[in-house]
Structure 1
C-alpha cells in the first residue's frame, strides 16, 4: 500500500478520498522542514502547503513519485531537484483564485476605510477616531494590477463591476485579447502603471532571483495617497522600503497578506508600522478553496500513481 506524506493539515475530504483509493496517509509531526526531512521516509507521494519541500527533503525520500503543491505557487519546492529524479511537481491551478481575489478586495477596503485602526480605537474607548481623518472612497478610483492572471482577473471583475473602479494592468505574458475580454486597460510598462495607481495590487509570482519586483525606486513613482495590497508573494515588494515610506507619510496605506519571512521575526518593522494592515497568508483559506486545492492534489496523486500524467505539472526553471 502506497503512502502519501502530508506536511501540513489539509481538508479532511481529500484525506478520506485518498483512503478510499487505498492510500495510507501520514502527517508531519511539526510543520518544519527538519521534521519533513526526518519523517518523509518511504512515502511515494507528498502534499505540501506553504512549507514547501526542499532538495534535502527530496533526497530523503527514495520512493517518492510525486510532489503535489496545495496551491499555485511552487517557489518553496525544489522543482529542479525533483525533476532530476523524474519526480513531477504539480500545482492546484485556479483552485483558490476567487478566494484570494475576495481577500484582495477585503484588504483594499480595509486600507481605504482604516478598518483595523478603527476597530482598535473603539476597543480602546476612542469613539472620536471617526474625526481623526477621513477614509477614501474607491468608486471611480484607478486600480492598478501588477500581473493579470486568474486572481487578478477576478479582482478586476469585482472592483470594476462592483465598486465602479477603473482597472488597468501590466502583464507582459498575457495576450491583448484577454485584457479586452475583461474590459481592462493594458499598460505597456510597470513605471506607467505605478504613476496612475490610486490602489496598487500585486499578482505576479515570485522571481527566481529572489529580488523584489517593486523596489524603493518603483515605490517612489506611486502617488502619495496610494494604497498597496499584496496577496501574491512577500518577496514581490521591498517591505522595508514600503514601511519607511508609510512611516514618512509618503503613501496612503498598505495591506499585506504575505511577508518575506513567514511568520515574521519579532523585530519585523512592518509589525509596528502605522497604516499597515497585516494578515497571516490567509487569502486562500476559505472552506471552498481548501476543498478544491486538497482534492486537486489528491486527484493528481492518484493519476501519477495510476500511471497517468497529472494535469498541472510544473516545469523546472531553466
Structure 2
C-alpha cells in the first residue's frame, strides 16, 4: 500500500514527478501545521519547505515516520522531539552551495555598485543618480566570510577568484585549515575580522549561540562604511540595530536574502532605506539547485518510508530508537 506524504508546498517538478510515482501526495500550500493537522495525522511523511513543526504537533501524529527538509536548515524542526519519537529528519546537504554562493556574491556586487537604487532613480527620470558616487570596486578589497561551511567555502572561492582578500571567522575551523589549505586570512576573534573587512558575507546556521549575534555592539566593531550580505538566517541579525547602522551610514549598504520573518514584513523600516536590498529567500532556488535538492529530498523521504536507514539525516541517533529495532 502506497504511503502518504504531506507537503507544506510543492518541490521542483523533477522531485514531484518522483514522489507522485511512489506515494500518495497531499500538497497543503500552507505553512501552519496546526491548521492542516487533520491531513498531517494521516501522513506517513512530511516534506516541510516552509513552516515549523513542534513537539506538540508531532505527538498528535503517531503515523508520522519521517520529516524532510529540502536543504540543510532545520531550525524550524524540534529535533529533540523528533529523535525521541523515532522520526528521522532528512536533509539535502551540498545541493545548493554553488547557487547560494553565487547569489551572495551577486548581492555583494549589486549593493557595492548601488545597482538597485540606481535603477529605481533612473526609471523615475533621475539620470543624475550616476553622480552619487556610491559604487566601489571590489578588486583588492577585503571580504570577511563568517561561517566556513560548504557554502562559506564556495563563496570565499568566488571572491578569491575575483581578486579579493578573503578573511575567515569560524570557531569550529582551525587556523591551519584556513591558512594552509585555503590560503586565506584567519581570525580567532570576530571583532578583528569586522574591523578589517570592507564586505562581510554571513553563512552560519541559526543556533542559540548565533541568534542575535549581530547586535549594536557588533555593528560598532565594524569598519566604517562596511557592506553586509546575509544569505544565512534572518535571526542572526538584530533588525533594529541593523536599521540604525544602515541609516547612520556606519554600514554603507546591505543585501539580504533572509529576515527574521518569512514572508518578509514589507512594513519593516529596513525597506525604507535606499542602501538596503532584499530577495525573498531565493538564493538556493536556481533550476539546477532546485532539481538536485528536490530529488535528494524525495529520495531520502521514500527510503525512510521503505524502512531504510537513510544516511543523510540530521539526527542519525534516531536509528537507536525502538521504532528502528
- Separation in 2 of the partners of 1:240 and 1:149? 28
Matched with 2:261 is 261
> CA shift at 1:178, angstroms?
3.5
Mean alpha-carbon deviation: is it higher for 173-182 or for 9-18? 173-182
Query: Alpha-carbon deviation of 1:266?
Result: 4.3
Quickly say closer, same or farther: Cα 1:260–1:144, change in 2 above 3 A: same
Equivalent in the alignment of 1:14: 15
What is the TM-score of this pair, normalised by structure 1? Answer: 0.94
What is the rounded CA distance, in whole Å, between the counterparts of 2:294 and 2:313 in structure 1?
16
The alignment covers a number of residue pairs equal to 315
User: 1:125-204 maps to which residues of 2 (within 5 A)?
Assistant: 125-161=125-161, 163-179=162-178, 180-204=180-204
Q: Does 1:205 align with 2:205?
A: yes
Tell me if the contact between 1:145 and 1:167 (Cα under 8 Å) persists in the aligned partners: yes
Distance of 1:209 and 1:164 partners within structure 2 = 32
1:79 partnered with 2:79: yes
Which 4+ stretches in 1 moved above 4 angstroms? none
- Is contact 2:112–2:134 with CA below 8 Å preserved after alignment? no
**3-state SS of paired residue (1:34):** helix
Deviations 1:138-183 (A, max 9, x none): 000000011100111111111101x200001011112445423222
Q: Structure 2 stretches of 5 or more lacking a match?
A: 318-325
Matched residue SS, 1:40:
helix
Q: Secondary structure at the match of 1:31?
A: coil
**CA drift at 1:250:** 1.6
Structure 2 Cα separation of the partners of residues 233 and 127 of structure 1: 36
Q: Which residue of 1 aligns with 2:248?
A: 248
The CA deviation string for residues 178-207 of structure 1, in whole angstroms up to 9 with x for no partner, is 423222221111111111010011111112
In 2: Cα distance, 1:38 partner to 1:269 partner = 38
Judged with a 3 Å threshold, the aligned counterparts in structure 2 of structure 1 residues 288 and 86 are, in CA distance, closer, same or farther, namely same
User: Which blocks of at least 5 consecutive residues in structure 1 are unaligned?
Assistant: none
CA distance in structure 2 between the aligned counterparts of 1:64 and 1:17, rounded to whole angstroms: 20
Partner SS state of residue 300, structure 1: helix
The alpha-carbon distance between structure 1 residues 177 and 43, as it changes in their structure 2 partners (threshold 3 A), is: farther
Q: Which residue of 1 aligns with 2:321?
A: none
How many Å separate the matches in 2 of 1:221 and 1:129? 31
Q: Over aligned residues, Cα RMSD in angstroms? A: 1.8
Aligned to 1:123: 123
d(CA) in 1 for partners of 2:173, 2:52 = 27
Secondary structure in structure 2 of the residue aligned to 1:24:
strand
